[in-house]
Amino acid sequence: MTLALGLHGGCGTLERSLMSEEAWAQSRAHMGAALKAGWAILAGGGRAVEAVEAVVVALEDSPHFNAGYGAALNENGRHELDASIMDGATLEAGAVCATTRIRNPIRAARKVMESGRAVLLTGAAADDFAAAAGLDIVAPDYFTTQRRVEALAKLRERGRLGTIVAASEAEKHGTVGAVARDGAGNLAAATSTGGFNNKPRGRVGDSPIVGAGTYARNGVCAVSCTGQGEIFIRRVAAYDCAARIMYGGQTLAAASDELVQKILASHDIGAGMIALGAEGDPRAPFNTIGMFRGWIGAARRIVVGAHEDLHDLGPA
Amino acid sequence: MTLALGLHGGCGTLERSLMSEEAWAQSRAHMGAALKAGWAILAGGGRAVEAVEAVVVALEDSPHFNAGYGAALNENGRHELDASIMDGATLEAGAVCATTRIRNPIRAARKVMESGRAVLLTGAAADDFAAAAGLDIVAPDYFTTQRRVEALAKLRERGRLGTIVAASEAEKHGTVGAVARDGAGNLAAATSTGGFNNKPRGRVGDSPIVGAGTYARNGVCAVSCTGQGEIFIRRVAAYDCAARIMYGGQTLAAASDELVQKILASHDIGAGMIALGAEGDPRAPFNTIGMFRGWIGAARRIVVGAHEDLHDLGPA
């Protein structure tokens, strides 16, 4: 029985010199707490799909990541949140997109999966579904933090000045995700995001798309992606990782590295993913200056990182 | 230079004994006209992506198929339309979901693709994008035909009577799609749908999801799917077909047949697809009693079918 758990908090980390020690310490603590929440489920005999949900809920509730509380604002200054979850044991999946009132979109994705009525629900219908399912509903401005308001204002100011309107990497790719392997060998993956600051209204990225931003299949791999979603959709990135293993005989290491460093990088985008192989071996490739990431593996220690170096937060 | 063009009009054809000769004659004529519209583009040196758009526009405008005019009604008696398009030459793609006012959703998908700002737009934002792009905007009831109103009423009546609320196969899977290969060897695919009668509000199926309902890649294949979308999403069906060819060395025939007859059928759903191989060889597997389908291949004749037998409609 090899339990394993991994997360990412987006490949849009700031340069080390621009990240305050306080912000990094908090991000580190929140990643550690998220991993602990998921690990408690795995160690208690819970299922992988429950563990990834718990990890993502914790990251959604942290203001340091671009999902749930603290999510990015779109071009209209509103939040439109996307999430998906997949159970590698059954290939069941659930997802929501363009939600505006669900405190934890990943919980709604799980409820959609369990409903059996749909895989993907969009917009107000997803909000209403979540409310009917008894999930926490919040006012749309619950998600708004000062950091995102300032980031959007800065982008708009740049737009007015006629300079290139581009989000910094840090604002672009704050998506969160988790992958897990439980004691029965089941894999699961989950992803949640606010998209990117100043994104077009109604734009849906790869995070709620099974096969693009999220994929899990027992005996193959579990994958959650971060980066410019449009390219991940066009490259069917998460499933491509699995297909390379299933049909091409690649290892997870080769498949995920080739995908991130070669295929996705060829589009000149920031890209990263957290992945587990069939036996729980973690991989966290990224082609940006950093990626918030962490895992608990065979050594049962909590390891997190933002740039190249890793921090050991102690035993799980 | 091998030009090739194929379409499907859904794998939810009625049993032969239940399909009136008039309805079948009209469906046949509309498929023939759709193929001619696409072929004129290919024969004139146009691109595959233009041809699949033209074919799908023609099918959207026909009341005999579940896309555009004549689309299915959801549980609230409303239309929510989905479409996607992919250019196999560039792997660019565009899609819209849960649209309510765009006369031809496939045109909006193409505009999204060309905008470069997104791959997938949802809901009212997609409608507004299409309007701003100059596309035909209609009142939501433009799409409504007597046939769909009666079908929904029948489903609701069954629901009230406590019997199983299940759409007939004919009401379920009327999605339309097209695949093409142009003179330069470029492949493209496009899909458009109204979902299924009585579908949950906000439910998004596989049709607007690149990799699930639609996929095209030069040198590999072009695929458009029809059937219960949730399973196609979970199986990442359209891209799985490509991955089996690229990584597994399967032929298109083997890949598409195995997918439809074994993988998708294992979920006990109706499933079908139209596909072209790298050189334009058409495949149209389905596991239902019929599938509206047609193509113009190397023989340059228009061939259409609903059940097992095929009709030759003359030279392209």
**In the predicted model, is pLDDT for residue B174 greater than 50?**
yes
For testing contact with chain A, the best of B92, B120, B239, B264 (most A CBs within 10 A): B120
Distance CA A54, CA A34 (A): 7
**In the predicted model, is pLDDT for residue A173 greater than 70?**
no
Residues listed for chain B: 316
Question: Cβ atoms within 10 A of the Cβ of A249, count?
Answer: 11
Q: Which residues of A touch B92 (CB under 8 A)?
A: 234
- Residue B22 at interface with chain A, using a CB cutoff of 8 Å: no
Q: Could you tell me the end-to-end alpha-carbon distance of chain B, in angstroms, rounded to an integer?
A: 16
Q: Which residues of B touch A208 (CB under 8 A)?
A: none
Nearest CA in chain A to B196: A118
The structural domains of chain A, ordered by start, are 4-308 (3.60.20.30)
Q: Which residues of A touch B126 (CB under 8 A)?
A: 202
Distance CA B244, CA B228 (A): 21
- Residue A122 at interface with chain B, using a CB cutoff of 8 Å: yes
Question: Cβ atoms within 10 A of the Cβ of B157, count?
Answer: 11
Q: What is the DSSP letter of B77?
A: S
Of all helices (H) and strands (E), which one includes residue A246? Answer: helix A237-246
Where does the pLDDT of residue A159 fall: very low under 50, low under 70, confident under 90, or very high at 90 and above?
low
CA atoms B199, B137, B126, B69: torsion sign: positive
What value, to the nearest 5°, has the Cα angle with vertex B226 and ends B278 and B135?
85
pLDDT on residue A172? 54
CA B62 to chain A, closest CA, distance in angstroms equals: 27
**In the predicted model, is pLDDT for residue B170 greater than 70?**
no
Q: How far is CA A141 from the centre of its chain?
A: 21
Distance CA B272, CA A221 (A): 27
Residue A237 three-state SS? helix
- Residue A226's contacts (CB-CB under 8 Å, 6 or more residues apart) are A8, A10, A11, A12, A173, A174, A175, A176, A177, A271, A272, A273, A286, A291
Q: Answer whether B207's CB lies under 8 Å from B174's CB.
A: no
pLDDT on residue A166? 46
Give percent of chain A with pLDDT exceeding 90. 86
Distance CA B66, CA B175 (A): 5
ipTM of the assembly?
Answer: 0.96
Mean pLDDT of A4-23: 88
Q: Answer whether A97's CB lies under 8 Å from B209's CB.
A: no
Query: Which pLDDT tens digit goes with each residue over B182-233?
Result: 999 999 999 999 999 999 999 999 999 999 999 999 999 999 999 999 999 9
| Strands of the sheet with B81-87, listed across from one edge | A203-204, B120-122, B92-99, B81-87, B187-193, B176-181, B4-8, B293-296, B301-305, B310-315
Cβ of A234 within 8 Å of Cβ of B92? The answer is yes
Distance CA A213, CA B306 (A): 36
Tokens linked to A284: 């966290």
Report A:68-87 residues touching B (Cβ under 8 A). 86
**In the predicted model, is pLDDT for residue A267 greater than 60?**
yes
CA B23 to chain A, closest CA, distance in angstroms equals: 31
Query: Which pLDDT tens digit goes with each residue over B35-71?
Result: 999 999 999 999 999 999 999 999 999 999 999 999 9
Q: B203 forms bridges with which residues in the sheet?
A: A121
Where does the pLDDT of residue A116 fall: very low under 50, low under 70, confident under 90, or very high at 90 and above?
very high
- Residue B217 at interface with chain A, using a CB cutoff of 8 Å: no
A122, A175, A214, A226: which is the annotated catalytic residue?
A175
Question: Cβ atoms within 10 A of the Cβ of B44, count?
Answer: 10
Phi then psi for residue B297, to 5 deg, are -115, -150
The radius of gyration of chain A's CA atoms, rounded to the nearest angstrom, is: 18
Tokens linked to A241: 């990782």
What value, to the nearest 5°, has the Cα angle with vertex B29 and ends B23 and B33?
145
For testing contact with chain A, the best of B112, B203, B207 (most A CBs within 10 A): B203
Q: Could you tell me the end-to-end alpha-carbon distance of chain A, in angstroms, rounded to an integer?
A: 16
Q: What is the DSSP letter of B286?
A: B
Active site residues of B: 175
A250-255: long-range contacts (C-beta < 8 A, 24 or more apart)?
A251/A277, A252/A221, A252/A276, A252/A277, A252/A278, A252/A281, A252/A283, A253/A281, A253/A283, A255/A221
A90 belongs to the catalytic site: no
